Amino acid sequence: MNEWLSRINRTLDKEVKLAVTGLSRSGKTVFITSLVHQLLHGTETSHLPFFQIANSGRLRGTKAMPQPDLHIPSFRYDQAIEQLCGEPPRWPEPTSGISELRLAIRYISNNPLTKHISPVSTLYVDIIDYPGEWLLDLPLLELTYEQWSQQIVELCKQEPRLSLSEKWRAFLDTFNPSDNVNETIIREASVLYTDFLHKCKNKYGLNLLQPGRFTMPGDDLKGAPVLEFCPLFNIHENDDENNTIYTEMKKRYEYYKEYIVKKFYKEHFSSFDRQIILADVLKAFNKGHPTFIDMRDSLNMVLKSFQYGKSGLLNKLFGLKIDKILFAATKADHVTPEQLPNLETFLQNMLANTHNHATFEGVDTQTLALASVKCTQAAHATYQGQRISCIKGVPIESNKPIALFPGEVPVKTPLPEEWIKDRFHFLDFKPPRLANIHGSGLPHIRLDRALEFLLGDKF
Ligand SMILES: Nc1nc2c(ncn2[C@@H]2O[C@H](COP(=O)(O)OP(=O)(O)O)[C@@H](O)[C@H]2O)c(=O)[nH]1
Ligand SMILES: [Mg+2]
């Protein structure tokens, strides 16, 4: 019955499933929290000028509803908003598992065909939140164990991975992949490999860390043997004797793909209609050239797996059909307002291939620089007799507001030698203290435009 109703609702365009996609720490959880808060306060129109349904006065109200999938934990909006709007305000905790949320948006219909039958209509919006680490598992679906191992071999030839992987690689040299299977060796190799991934993440903020569950296992997989394998060097596909370390690692890799990765994407991603891709470009600028390259390549690799249109992997596997994609550069409150167009152009250039592919397949796209929660104010200062634009906010490590000029966002990727130390200085800020969070939506930058693009045509 549920499935049947759901189908009817979808045919009448009464249901939208929104995929919020982004690498770890790109701002997914904060985006979802702010989106819900903006919609719950949507009838106070002043904070969403570009969201037409709110601005036209046709919005009747929004409510969080019981989600359709009862076996998935609910997105803890109440907890997240309590932290964001607490005293002192804090950012929500990093996400360690999947959660889901359903919103019902009630509005006065404008549709000439249905408005006489039912002048008040409801649009259901389903959103899931999950750790960004798991996205990097998607490209594995197209790689054999040997191809994946080879890819990691290549990555480890360059710094910082070359040094960070030293201990793990030294251990691989102590045995032969064609040796008889040995649980102790397999466990030790996977522990050292997982340590290497953690170092890449914590020291350099790298994203291309596969398998994704090694750094973020989720509650159900901690300590499971399916997380005990790693890539091997010097393997030959014809080494295919049974019961060797190589065949055992390969078996676990295939199991991981089939029962963890495919299962997750089939269950949660197959029915999405719309997608927002969040990228924290500014963090990569701060961390330097290798981190930037890693972010760009990770995102492009993931988006290649999404490949919109009939030939795409997710379409072939699960019938995914997305008709609109919003590319969003997050945390736009870290830069001065004049820099927003540069940030948008930069993101567009960075994801040019995906963009081109999506529009070729008939997917409607847009690029936006946005802040889900605006933590800074635009201000001006005088420096050497010149008036310069700056931002004012409370840095994450401090309790006092400061004004600073965070630097210019380049339109094109700087050459490796142009990433000089301290060229970019995009500070992290504390969330703003708000006197009355129940009076109006959270302060934001262009979240209303994001809502209009993602949902506007459904009303
Ligand atoms: N200034 C600012 N910081 C943000 C914003 N959104 C996210 N952040 C920062 O980015 C961090 C990660 O955000 P989160 O939503 O947890 O990322 P996720 O891993 O993609 O879910 C937060 O803890 C904040 O420090 C924003 O709109 N403005
Ligand atoms: Mg999160």
**133-162: per-residue pLDDT in tens?**
999 999 999 999 999 999 999 999 999 999
Which stretches in the chain have pLDDT values below 70?
1-13, 45, 114-117, 237-240, 307-320
- Ligand 1 contacts CB of residue 431 (under 6 A): no
User: Which residue's alpha carbon is nearest to atom 24 within ligand 1?
Assistant: 91
- Ligand 1 contacts CB of residue 406 (under 6 A): no
- DSSP classification of residue 256: I
Quick one: pLDDT at residue 237?
A: 66
Sheet holding 274-279, edge to edge: 59-65, 99-108, 120-129, 15-22, 274-279, 324-329, 364-369
Least distant ligand from the CA of 97: 2
For 109-182, strand residue ranges (E) read 120-129
Q: How far is CA 230 from CA 170, 403, 438, in A?
A: 14, 47, 49
Alpha-carbon span 170 to 153, nearest angstrom = 13
Quick one: pLDDT at residue 322?
A: 85
Pocket-testing residue among 21, 30, 98, 340, ligand 1, by greatest number of atoms within 8 A of Cβ:
30
Q: How far is the CA of 208 from the centre of ligand 2 (A)?
A: 17
Q: Which atom of ligand 1 is nearest to the CA of 33?
A: 15
The amino acid at residue 400 is K
3-state helix, strand and coil shares in percent for the chain, rounded to the nearest 5 = 45, 15, 40
Q: How far is the CA of 25 from the centre of ligand 1 (A)?
A: 6
User: Which residue's alpha carbon is nearest to atom 7 within ligand 1?
Assistant: 27
- Ligand 1 contacts CB of residue 94 (under 6 A): yes
Q: How far is the CA of 291 from the centre of ligand 1 (A)?
A: 18
Query: Which residues are within 8 A (CB) of 385 and not within 5 positions of it... i.e. 6 or more apart?
Result: none
CB atoms inside a 10 Å sphere around CB 117: 9
User: Which residue's alpha carbon is nearest to atom 23 within ligand 1?
Assistant: 91
Q: How far is the CA of 330 from the centre of ligand 1 (A)?
A: 8
- Ligand 1 contacts CB of residue 102 (under 6 A): no
Written in H, E and C, the secondary structure of 396-457 is CCCCCCEEECCCCCCCCCCCHHHCCCCCCCCCCECCCCCCCCCCCCCCCECHHHHHHHHHHH
The domain locations on the chain are: 2-133+268-374+436-458, 135-264, 377-418
Least distant ligand from the CA of 335: 1
Alpha-carbon span 138 to 130, nearest angstrom = 14
User: Which residue's alpha carbon is nearest to atom 4 within ligand 1?
Assistant: 331
Q: How far is the CA of 291 from the centre of ligand 2 (A)?
A: 20
Looking at domain 2-133+268-374+436-458, its CATH class is: alpha beta
Q: Which atom of ligand 1 is nearest to the CA of 278?
A: 20
Least distant ligand from the CA of 26: 1
- Ligand 1 contacts CB of residue 444 (under 6 A): no
Pocket-testing residue among 20, 21, 24, 25, ligand 1, by greatest number of atoms within 8 A of Cβ:
25
Least distant ligand from the CA of 278: 1
- Ligand 1 contacts CB of residue 25 (under 6 A): yes
Q: Which atom of ligand 1 is nearest to the CA of 393?
A: 1
pTM reported for the whole predicted model: 0.90
Q: How far is CA 286 from CA 169, 346, 370, 391, 457, in A?
A: 29, 15, 18, 17, 37
Of the CA atoms within 13 Å of residue 214, those in its CB half-sphere come to 28
Q: Which atom of ligand 1 is nearest to the CA of 444?
A: 27
Phi, psi dihedral angles at 223 (to 5 degrees): 80, 5
What the block records as the tokens of 328 is 């969003």
Query: Which residues are within 8 A (CB) of 174 and not within 5 positions of it... i.e. 6 or more apart?
Result: none
Quick one: pLDDT at residue 455?
A: 95
- Ligand 1 contacts CB of residue 372 (under 6 A): yes
